[in-house]
Amino acid sequence: MIVGILLLPLLLELAPYWKRVINIMCVYALLALSFDFLANYVGLVCLGGAFFVGVGGYLSAIFNVYLGLPVYLSIPFAAMGGAIFCTALLLPCLPLRGVYFAIVTLMYPLFFTRVVEALNILGGTNGITGLDSLPNEYVEHYVIIIMTLIILFGMRRFVNQDIGLVLRGVKDNDQSVRASGINITHMKALAVFIASFVGCFGGAYIAHLYMWAGISLFALDFSIIPIASVVIGGGGTLVGAVIGTFILVPLSEILRAFGSFRIVIYCAALTGFIVFKSEGLMVYLQRKYHQFERWVKV
C-alpha cells in the first residue's frame, strides 16, 4: 500500500485532474484518522472535522497573507495554533459523551460560518485570497502523502503505548481510570489536541492548495465523508479509515458523470456496507486472516 501511494503521482502523470484528487483524498484520510482515533480509542464521537479544517485553513491564510510567513512555516504554525485553539474551545465539552459531544462539535463549524458571514470578517463570503502555493507539483503531492503515512503509523504506535491503553480505558470505563488517580480530562484534552492537529494540518494544506481560504472550508462534507470512510474501512483499526477514504473519494469522483443520480448510487453503496459489512473491510479481513490455521514446522 505504501509503495502504491507513493507511486500514484507518477503513474497519473498524464491525468492532472486525478492527481488533484489524490491530494484531496489524503486530506480526507487525515480527517478519517482523526475521527477514528477519537471515536474508537477515546470514546468521543466528533463531528467537527469541518471545524478543524476551517480553523487550520483560516489560520494558515492569516499567517501567510497578513503576517507574510512563507508557506513552509504557515502550514505547521496553523496546525499547531489551530490545535491549541480547537482544544481550548472543546475543553468545556469534554465531560460530555455520546450524542451530546457529537452535537456540540457539529455546531462549531456552523457557528463560525455564520460569524464570518454576519460580521464580514476574514474576507467575509469572498474569503481570503492570494495565498502562496506550494513550490511545485511534486512537493504539493508528496507533502500530503508523506504526512498521511507518518500520521497513520505514528497514531498506530501511539495507541499501542501505555498512554494509548489509558485512552482506551477512558473509553471503556472512565470511572476506573479516575479511581487510578489519572486525570481523565487531561487525557481527553490530549486526544482532542492530537486529533485537531491532524485536521488543522489538512485544512492548512487545502488553503494553500487552492490558494484561498473561505467559509466553504467549514462545509459539512469534511465531517460526513470521513465518518463514512471509517464505516467502510472499519473502525478502530486506523488503517481501515485510510483504505475507506481511498475507496470512497475516488468513487464519488467517478460518479460525477451520473449527475444527480450519483447520490442514489452513493447512498446505495453506503447502505450496503452498513447493512452487510457493518464491521468494515479491515476488521472483516483481519478476522478472516486469523481464522486460517497456521502450520508451524516442528
Please write the tens of the pLDDT for every residue from 263-295.
677 777 777 777 777 777 787 777 777 777 666
Cβ atoms of 63 and 77 closer than 8 Å = yes
- With beta carbons less than 8 A apart as the criterion, state whether 228 and 252 touch: no
The answer to whether residue 94 scores a pLDDT higher than 80 is yes
Distance CA 184, CA 131 (A): 40
CA–CA distances in Å: residue 78 to residues 69, 116, 135: 11, 18, 18
* DSSP three-state, residue 98: coil
Alpha carbon of 116 to those of 56, 85, 222: distances in Å? 15, 17, 18
How far, in whole angstroms, is CA 161 from its chain's centroid?
Answer: 22
Q: Which three cell numbers stand for residue 47?
A: 463531528
Q: Which H/E stretch holds residue 154?
A: helix 137-159
Q: What are phi and psi of 129, to 5 degrees?
A: -110, 175
CA nearest neighbour of 49 among 151, 179, 195, 173: 195
Residue identified by cell 452535537 is: 103
pLDDT tens digit sequence for 188-205 = 999 999 999 999 999 999
Element (H, E) at 186: helix 184-210
* Cα–Cα distance for residue pair 144/21, rounded to 1 Å: 12
Residue 148 CA to its chain's centroid (Å): 10
Cell of 10: 507518477
pTM over the 0.75 mark: yes
| Model pLDDT for residues 117-173, shown as the tens digit of each residue | 888 888 888 888 888 888 888 888 889 999 999 999 999 999 988 888 898 888 888
45: left (phi over 0), alpha (psi -120 to 50) or beta: beta
pLDDT tens for residues 29-86? 999 999 999 988 988 888 888 999 999 999 999 999 998 889 989 999 999 999 999 9
Which residues partner with 129 through β-bridges?
Answer: 212
Q: Give me the pLDDT at residue 180, please.
A: 85
State the DSSP code for 265.
H
Whose CA is closest to 208, among 13, 14, 23?
A: 23
